[in-house]
């Protein structure tokens, strides 16, 4: 399955409460993603919480866009990515 980096801007900052509401919100995203065969692998958040860089596995960029739409999440850019492991070269 292809892997993608999804960049998102949150001009007012991203706040996810560490409560049952936050848990329910994250579970909702995971469930919406599943309807499009998309898996959220992990995310990185800028220090000011206005930008996220999220790694997803999914069949196509369009499937990721549809899943994001179900969760009402913005998408600024989607880039297909692969892993570059520096330690692969060190051991060669």
2 has pLDDT over 70: yes
Q: What is the residue range of 44's domain?
A: 3-90
Domain with residue 30: its CATH number is: 3.30.70.3090
Strand partners, 81: 3
pLDDT confidence band for 90 (50 / 70 / 90): confident
What are the pLDDT digits (tens) for 58-83?
999 999 999 999 999 999 999 999 98
Torsion sign across C-alpha atoms 47, 51, 55, 56:
positive
Q: Give the per-residue pLDDT at 40.
A: 97
Section 12-39 average pLDDT: 95
Report how many domains make up the chain: 1
Residue 40 to residue 38: CA distance in whole angstroms:
7
Q: How far apart are the first and last CA of the chain?
A: 27
Mean per-residue pLDDT of the chain? 95
Nearest to 38 by CA among 75, 9, 12: 75
């Amino acid at each position: 399955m292809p892997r993608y980096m999804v960049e998102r801007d949150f001009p007012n900052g991203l706040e996810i409460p560490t409560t049952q509401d936050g848990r329910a919100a994250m579970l909702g995203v995971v469930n919406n993603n599943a309807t499009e065969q998309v898996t959220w692998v992990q995310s990185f958040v800028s220090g000011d919480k206005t930008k996220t860089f999220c790694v997803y596995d999914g069949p196509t960029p369009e499937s990721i866009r549809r899943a994001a739409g179900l969760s009402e999440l913005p998408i600024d850019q989607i880039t297909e990515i692969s892993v570059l492991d520096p330690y692969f070269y060190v051991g060669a």
